[in-house]
Structure 1
Amino acid sequence: MASECEIEVSVQDLVVDRKTFEEIDSQTQKKVQTLFLRTDIILEVEGRQIHVNRQMLADHSPVFQGMFESDFKEKHMDNIPLPDKKFEDFEIFLSSFYYNEFQHTITDDTVLVILPLAIEYQVTAVQDRCESFITKKLKQATNHEIERMDIPTLLSYIEYAEKYKLPTILALAVNLCARYDIPVLKEAGVEDRVSEKTWKEILEDRNSLMTTFMRKILQTGNAADVLATFDLITGLVVGNPEDTHGLIRTYENKLVVMLTNYPEQLTVETLVEIIITGECFKLENLLSSAVNLAFMCDSKLMKGSKRYHQISKDTKATIDEKRVVWLQENSYCCYVSLKD
């Protein structure tokens, strides 16, 4: 009897397995059908052919849909020439949406290739991805989460934002551009690449930034807006790169003295900002001094800082490790008091 029951279960299992196999096989077939779409139209770009599926293009692009379904000559054509387009650019554009399973990601190298074509052919999903990519890059650069953005790229973003009316990107790019010294921007051809209105906004933002910066320096001393200060110094043109390097070292040394001898003049937020600055601008002496002060501060206060999350994992680990050793070696130690 036991063996019969075992046989019954095995048969049921086989039935389930067969159904499962059939479902998997059906899904695989659908993917294969999607991957190897029947091509029924040819796009001719720079004398070269791209074989595509008419319905796939129409599903993603209202412009192509209009060509194929409205009373246009392309409706009855098997070969559609696309004059004034570059073959490689159009291939990259198609790869951003044509196969759902194998869509290429947007990158620094492709975003400005894809964006204008996505706008022209009204592929809104791809346009949104491009805009999100640029917006994220600009915000990361503004918050010093990535390396300083080069001026040619920044000006390209402004050009495209103006041309295609992208206000969010334009505002972010203008604000970031204002951090560079005027002679540097002029040398990069800013006056030829952006509109007169936008150039005026950059100058106004630059003036406002400098005014605010100087006011805070006068009111609160050397540790005011540390990141902004280094932004301005590195963006200055002072005739000789060594002079800029000298300015950076001078300001760094003043901050090190403050960290070492006058920590009571610093707030937790300022200390966190100094750590972030040391990482962003690769200032080892400044970073080391800031870490040495941080591990002697209350960890709850440090971690409660608004920008603590911007400190790298390695630096956070170093601070925690040094704090553990310090507490073990000093039974009656008390945390360093910072300014409220």
Structure 2
Amino acid sequence: MATGRKRQSQRSGEVHCKTKKTALEDEPQIHFHPTDVILEVEGRDIHVNKQVLAEKSLVFKAMFESDFTEKYKEKIPLPGKKYADFVDFLYTFYYPEREEPITENKVLKIIPLAEEYQILAVKDKCESLLREVCQSTARDIEKRIETSTLVNYTACAAQFNMNSVLPFALRLCAECPPQSLKLAGIDAKVTGDLQRRIAECRNSLLEKELKPYFGEGSRQDFLNIAVLMWDSFNSAEKRQYEDSLVNSCNRQSGPSSSQPSAISLHTLIGYIIAAERFNLENLLTAAIDLASYCSYK
């Protein structure tokens, strides 16, 4: 039986990992044969071929064929990159006949590299995957995406102009409770303009959800209370608006009120539903108090 350390193991097809003693405790070095340049990522070597990279990437093409210093180097450091991520990235395009599929747990790491090195085919595959994931989630009420992952999908789609992904991602965000989006870091990751679009989408969904509760011709009454734009208000505007609705209820409630029904029933129902949804305790109390003076009809 053969003994000793295995000197070579095959990962897939023509791509090999070769063990070699280094200061990094014999970490395997990735070889993409035939090689004529080394990419150094996190202090580890990736052996690649200039021509292959130049054929796939406009950035590598400029690096190796124009008068850049990298053209003449045998080893090119790539600072700021993660070794594992970069190897996964290479396996998406370096050998087309042996490429590995882009998966949900890798896609967000691969997209920035595909964009940076201008490998459009890889970026298109990433966009297709995200679009399919978001579409299938929107179609299947049993399927869910973690809120933090969804926020990352949305930020990524916006940052890298994935226009076929963004509408589905925004729709899914609109279905999430605003507080869960905040806990997932949406304020830091998604622009104010996109957050406004999410709020508008949520408002449309809310209006559709509440439509059965309102009779024909009552839609404008509900829109006038402006809760459909609630998430686009700042704190002061929210407080001011709630106070105005509370005052409106208080002026018309109580046994001494001559016109307790001056607020339409449809609008009053809207107040109560909105107050519950957005945790407006003062408005909820005032609206329920006013409702208690309405006739059963």
Other structure's SS at 2:38 match: strand
* 2:92 counterpart of 1:96: yes
Instruction: Check conservation: 1:155, 1:190, Cα contact below 8 A.
Output: yes
CA distance in 1, matches of 2:114, 2:166: 18
Instruction: Tell me how large the CA RMSD over aligned residues is.
Output: 2.2
* 2:132 counterpart of 1:152: no
Aligned equivalent of 1:59: 55
Aligned equivalent of 2:129: 133
Instruction: Check conservation: 1:158, 1:174, Cα contact below 8 A.
Output: yes
Aligned equivalent of 2:284: none
Go from structure 1 to structure 2 and tell me whether the alpha carbon gap of 1:179 and 1:215 turns closer, same or farther (over 3 Å shift).
same
Q: Work out which of the residue numbers 162, 171, 184 in structure 2 matches 1:175.
A: 171
CA-CA distance at 1:71 after TM superposition: 0.8
What does the per-residue CA deviation read over 1:220-276, in whole Å, with 9 as the maximum and x for residues that have no partner? 9xxxxxxxxxxxxxxxxxxxxxxxxxxxxxxxxxxxxxxxxxxxxxxxxxxxxxxxx
CA distance in 2, matches of 1:207, 1:145: 19
CA-CA distance at 1:191 after TM superposition: 1.9
CA-CA distance at 1:143 after TM superposition: 0.6
Aligned equivalent of 2:101: 105
CA distance in 2, matches of 1:32, 1:48: 20
State the one-letter code of the partner of 2:117. Y
TM-score calculated relative to the size of structure 1:
0.52
CA-CA distance at 1:215 after TM superposition: 0.5
CA distance in 1, matches of 2:179, 2:33: 54
Aligned equivalent of 1:22: none
* 2:205 counterpart of 1:214: no
CA distance in 2, matches of 1:36, 1:200: 46
Q: Work out which of the residue numbers 190, 193, 198 in structure 1 matches 2:194.
A: 198
Alignment of 1:1-340 (within 5 A): 37-144=33-140, 147-216=143-212, 218=214
CA-CA distance at 1:145 after TM superposition: 7.2
> Which structure's residues are more often helix, by fraction?
1
Instruction: Check conservation: 2:34, 2:49, Cα contact below 8 A.
Output: yes
Instruction: Check conservation: 1:95, 1:103, Cα contact below 8 A.
Output: yes
CA distance in 2, matches of 1:161, 1:32: 33
CA-CA distance at 1:36 after TM superposition: 6.8
Other structure's SS at 1:159 match: helix
CA distance in 1, matches of 2:141, 2:65: 47
CA distance in 2, matches of 1:95, 1:219: 58
CA distance in 1, matches of 2:134, 2:188: 22
Go from structure 1 to structure 2 and tell me whether the alpha carbon gap of 1:58 and 1:212 turns closer, same or farther (over 3 Å shift).
same
CA distance in 2, matches of 1:207, 1:153: 23
CA-CA distance at 1:168 after TM superposition: 2.2
State the one-letter code of the partner of 1:215. K
Go from structure 1 to structure 2 and tell me whether the alpha carbon gap of 1:36 and 1:214 turns closer, same or farther (over 3 Å shift).
closer
CA-CA distance at 1:38 after TM superposition: 1.4
CA-CA distance at 1:169 after TM superposition: 1.5
CA distance in 1, matches of 2:123, 2:42: 24
CA distance in 2, matches of 1:83, 1:202: 36
What does the per-residue CA deviation read over 1:112-134, in whole Å, with 9 as the maximum and x for residues that have no partner? 11111011101111111000000
Instruction: Check conservation: 1:140, 1:146, Cα contact below 8 A.
Output: no
TM-score calculated relative to the size of structure 2:
0.60
Other structure's SS at 1:49 match: strand
Instruction: Check conservation: 1:139, 1:172, Cα contact below 8 A.
Output: yes
Instruction: Check conservation: 2:39, 2:47, Cα contact below 8 A.
Output: yes
CA-CA distance at 1:98 after TM superposition: 1.0
CA distance in 2, matches of 1:44, 1:145: 45
CA distance in 1, matches of 2:135, 2:45: 39
Give the number of equivalent residue pairs.
189
Other structure's SS at 1:80 match: strand
CA-CA distance at 1:219 after TM superposition: 6.4
What does the per-residue CA deviation read over 1:160-195, in whole Å, with 9 as the maximum and x for residues that have no partner? 122222222222111111011222222323222211
Gaps of 5+ in 2: 1-12, 16-30, 217-297
CA distance in 2, matches of 1:180, 1:40: 50
